Structure 1
Amino acid sequence: MPFVERVVEPKFLSRTSLHDQAGTQKVTDEELQAVTNCTLSNALRQLASLVLLAEDIFSELTSQLEGVTERSKAAQTKLGKINELVEKYDPKNVPVRKYLQLTTLAIRDG
């Protein structure tokens, strides 16, 4: 089971109590409007929470991509050096070992 890294709050948008702990009503008139206003304000809070989490995700992603950029630049530099060595390499200038000739003679004589 994966670990939860980020949680969007509030979870329940319309869960509000129109009565206090003693049981008396907090809102005396237009309860539907009070619930609607509370739901709308909780939705705005949830969107704000989502925006903060998105900013966190994108900043983390940016730092990871900067690391990838640095590693790819280092790899590109190494590949450039290897490419230069390969282009300078001339196989005609490399001497052939005499070991191959000696083993051929030993096989024929053996």
Structure 2
Amino acid sequence: MPFIQKVVEPKFLCRRRVWPKDDGSSRQTEVDDELELVVNVALCGALRQLSSIATHADTLFKDLRTELDAVRVRTEALRTRMDSLEVKALAFNPRTVAVRK
């Protein structure tokens, strides 16, 4: 069973402050369409999450490729060993072996 290496959890898309902070300055931002502002914030959050998922998938596939390359190298070494043993087994003649008394 594989060990958990990365945990991916969903984040809230719209749980952030939309309006600028009221820091006492006289400059306030006017918003023409509040719904458009909320939709844009949600869209940016969704794009941020998709980017994060793509990054996780990239690292996951890189790790998988590294592990599969290691398995391939071990399999090639095993195949080489099996070929040499097959040659020795075919060349073996049990009638020529001396039996101890």
| TM bucket, shorter chain | 0.7 to 0.9
Confirm or deny that 1:45 pairs with 2:48.
yes
The structure carrying a bigger helix percent of its residues is: 1
TM-score by length of structure 1 reads: 0.72
- 1:63-97 per-residue CA deviation (whole Å, 9 max, x = no partner) reads 11111100110011111111111111111111222
Unaligned runs of 5+ in 1: 99-110
TM-score by length of structure 2 reads: 0.78
Partner of 1:19: 19
Unaligned runs of 5+ in 2: none
Spell out the pairing of 1:49-88 with structure 2 (5 A cutoff). Answer: 49-88=52-91
Alignment coverage as a number of residue pairs: 96
**Structure 1: how far apart are the matches of 2:67 and 2:73?**
10
The share of aligned pairs that are identical, in percent, is 33
Q: Helix, strand or coil for the counterpart of 1:19?
A: coil
The structure whose Rg is larger is 1
Tell me how large the CA RMSD over aligned residues is: 2.6
Q: Cα distance 1:4–1:20, how it changes in 2: closer, same or farther (>3 A)?
A: farther
- 1:28-75 per-residue CA deviation (whole Å, 9 max, x = no partner) reads 332111111111111111111111111111111111111110011001
